[in-house]
Structure 1
Amino acid sequence: MADIDDRWHRKGPDGKQQRTDRYGVGARWLLRWREADGTQRKKSFQRKADAEQYATTVEHGMMSGTYVSPDAGKITVGEWAARWLQAQGHLARSTFARYEIAINRHIVLKWGRVRLSAVKHADVQAWVSGLAGEWSPASVVKVHRVFSQVLAWAVRDGRLARNPAEGIRLPRPSLPDHRYLDHAEVAKLAERCGSYGVVIRFLAYTGLRWGELAGLKVGRVDLVRRRFLVAESVTEVNGALVWGSPKTHERRSVPLPRFLVEELRPRIEGRADDALVFMAPQGGVLRVRNFRRNVFDPAVRDVGPAGFHPHELRHTAASLAIASGADVKLVQQMLGHKTATMTLDLYGHLFPDRLNDVADRMDAAVSAPNVPRE
């Protein structure tokens, strides 16, 4: 419990009220309390009402588990962000690298020397609004997300009572204008890529991310069942190859069209299970930067569309699957999306509009002979 006394209200040698003491000018009421770990705390106030109000806050915080020690928020944001980053060893290396860039390039630059307890919601909003004038909406959202995670960690550690980065108004990223190749365009691009045409067709008809294609091993491919298992991915981070699980950390089975089975057969049969299906010219992992520079980008410059990049073949796979009659759950499974909602957010406009079909079925049901009419 917190105790209040006024023993700092003293008379001076002349008999008058003494207005100054070591707790501050006019400090009269002293609040004492003890934290859960036994640490003794005290704070002085000029008015008893202020002391009582603060005492109520302290007691409520201790009872509800929301109490924050006055010293807990004295650590700087820069120090705390470094601790938080060190605790993110569970993240994929590529994700860790993005978080590190957000902290070093943006967060520490603005907040590095500021105490955690001094971070205010209005100041965070002003900072985010300033970033929105310099960076793309998507970049601002990512930087804010990292900052909010850092502060949320401080809340869980008892250093902040609440997260001042919550409820910030963020710029709304515009939905990208996806480009989709049709079958003829895929064939044309694949032909221009020569011996690597199979890579183009594989991406365009399976929807794999590049890291999943580059990490696909022979033992994961079943040509008889026309299926392969996406179980790992390889990413280049600061020039180094990092192996890990797919983006959603879940394995998935993806179907193979028959024409791809025949193209893959020479790359599968007679090879070791741990061999890579797709390899660089000199062996080893097929790196996207090298592939783009040496094969893909020259082909795109010749046959178009201008500026097309390998990830757009994933969008192409989604559009071709939907056009062939695949429903949203099948497309979700093929692409490895976390939820069907994500699939619909990206490709919902490609699914055929069947609202009239629903209305027609309702008309037919109501018009059935066995439906009573007034």
Structure 2
Amino acid sequence: MARVWIEDRSTQKDYVAAMEKWRVAKKAGSKRAEPGRWRVRWYGPDGKPKALTCAKLPQAEKEQQALIQRLDKGTYRDPKQGKTLFSEVAEQWFAALRRPGERTKADYRELLDLYVLPKWGSWAVSSIRWEDVSAWLTVLCETPGKRGRVLSPARIGKTHLVLSMVMKYAVKTGKVSTSPAADHELPQDEDDDDHVYLTHDQVAGLVDAAGEHGTLLLVLAYCGIRWGEVSALKVGRVQLAGRRLRIVQAYTRKRGGGLLLKDVKNHEKRSVPLMSSLAPDLGALVAGRGTEELVFPGADGEPMTYWEFRAGIFDPAVKAAGLNGLGLTPHKLRHTAASLAIAAGADPKVVQQMLGHKSAAMTLDVYGHLFPERLDEVADALDIGRASALAARTALAA
């Protein structure tokens, strides 16, 4: 058990002198609090002596028990560390970011400067309470943002994420024991879950309507890769013999304009299966071209931008195919790829790898409702196994 003790200062010279000054000041009208008689003392995990002064013995005993529990459980935090300003912790966190790409870091910086630091920058990290964060989220939901429009649920969620990551950094660096940003109910955009699942026939109609760009639509609808990934796909990464597309990079739009080539999302490089029926179309498209050339370049030979694809190819094809009432977007073709793969019997791990999800759990969270219920198959397989075991047992007994 951690050693934490209480010291009575009543006979100590510094306390006696402090009390004398306090009495004189009180007679003169001062409302300053009486000097603390009881001092809680302990040694922190760093081996350095610590102390906390309390006016009343019950208060000192309460602090003593709390410190013993924190020290024994390993949840102790130096109270002085908790006085660090949020703004200081936020800058330390941002400077320590290593994995996010340039675009993501720019988004974090913007949200930090626009919404997080103006609210929390001058607060000591230990003074931020769960209810304070909850009230702040309500304000974000109800008040127009810096651009004069009500913030979208996605924007609010990302703003909360930035706060959460700063407070998680504060926990890990020993400034606070728990994060007040955890376990909050966030607004949900109903459209985020509005999946569109095309049938094979609908995909065929969309491909036909896209004309010379039909192969691009086929890749999006059957391989499930993201727009940034397909726009960065190079000829040398189309493995026709092995029927694979090697996905290692993606283009993303830079803030202020232009495109940035970066690693794929979650840094999960992967190989995506290619249907035999799609291989000839891709083969004709890449034949005789250099390995570093883009498979689907824009009109000027440079990487095709999302809006060039959307306005010039995708939206007209959707309209011509009679699918414009479905709310279809290029990204939602990933849902089609997932649903068709699941209907064909693909298991969650295969769908996860194809889509580039971080885990199979994430795939099941998004598409779990599409997987067929296989309880009867399990029961039938158990029946077969049991019957086989009983038959062998009977044969041995005979």
Q: TM-score range, shorter-chain basis?
A: 0.7 to 0.9
> Aligned partners of 2:317, 2:195: CA distance in 1, in Å?
20
1:95 to 104, 116, 134: 104
More deviation, 173-182/251-260: 173-182
1:5 to 4, 9, 16: 9
Q: 1:122 Cα shift?
A: 1.7
* % same residue: 37
Counterparts in 2 of 1:289 and 1:78: CA distance versus 1, 3 Å = farther
Partner of residue 262, structure 1: 280
1:160 to 169, 172, 176: 176
Q: 1:230 Cα shift?
A: 1.3
Partner of residue 292, structure 1: 310
TM-score (norm 1): 0.83
Indicate the SS of the match to 1:253: strand
Q: 1:351 Cα shift?
A: 2.6
More deviation, 136-145/32-41: 32-41
Determine if contact 1:120/1:164 at 8 Å carries over to the other structure.
yes
Indicate the SS of the match to 2:357: coil
More deviation, 350-359/247-256: 350-359
Structure 2 matches for 1:2-151, cutoff 5 A?
Answer: 4-6=8-10, 7=12, 8-10=15-17, 24-29=32-37, 31=39, 43-54=52-63, 57=66, 66-132=75-141, 135=151, 137-151=153-167
Determine if contact 1:75/1:115 at 8 Å carries over to the other structure.
yes
Q: 1:119 Cα shift?
A: 0.4
Determine if contact 1:19/1:27 at 8 Å carries over to the other structure.
no
Q: 1:153 Cα shift?
A: 0.8
Superposed CA offset, 1:332-370 (max 9, x none): 222222222222222222233444444555667778894
2:234 to 217, 226, 231: 217
More deviation, 27-36/342-351: 27-36
Partner of residue 205, structure 2: 188
Partner of residue 321, structure 1: 341
Aligned residues: 371
Partner of residue 274, structure 1: 292
> Aligned partners of 1:348, 1:55: CA distance in 2, in Å?
50
> Aligned partners of 1:364, 1:172: CA distance in 2, in Å?
46
Indicate the SS of the match to 1:96: helix
RMSD: 3.6
Superposed CA offset, 1:203-231 (max 9, x none): 11111111111111122112122222112
Q: 1:327 Cα shift?
A: 2.7
Aligned AA (1:348)? G
Q: 1:256 Cα shift?
A: 1.5
Q: 1:151 Cα shift?
A: 0.8
Determine if contact 1:319/1:350 at 8 Å carries over to the other structure.
yes
Aligned AA (2:89)? W
Determine if contact 2:38/2:56 at 8 Å carries over to the other structure.
no
Superposed CA offset, 1:209-266 (max 9, x none): 1111111112211212222211222211212422222223222222222332222224
Determine if contact 1:226/1:257 at 8 Å carries over to the other structure.
yes
1 or 2, which has the higher helix percentage?
A: 2
Superposed CA offset, 1:74-111 (max 9, x none): 33323422332222132123332332343233322432
More deviation, 337-346/26-35: 26-35
Q: 1:314 Cα shift?
A: 1.0
Indicate the SS of the match to 1:280: coil
- In structure 1, the gaps of 5 or more residues are none
Determine if contact 1:9/1:18 at 8 Å carries over to the other structure.
no
More deviation, 51-60/327-336: 51-60
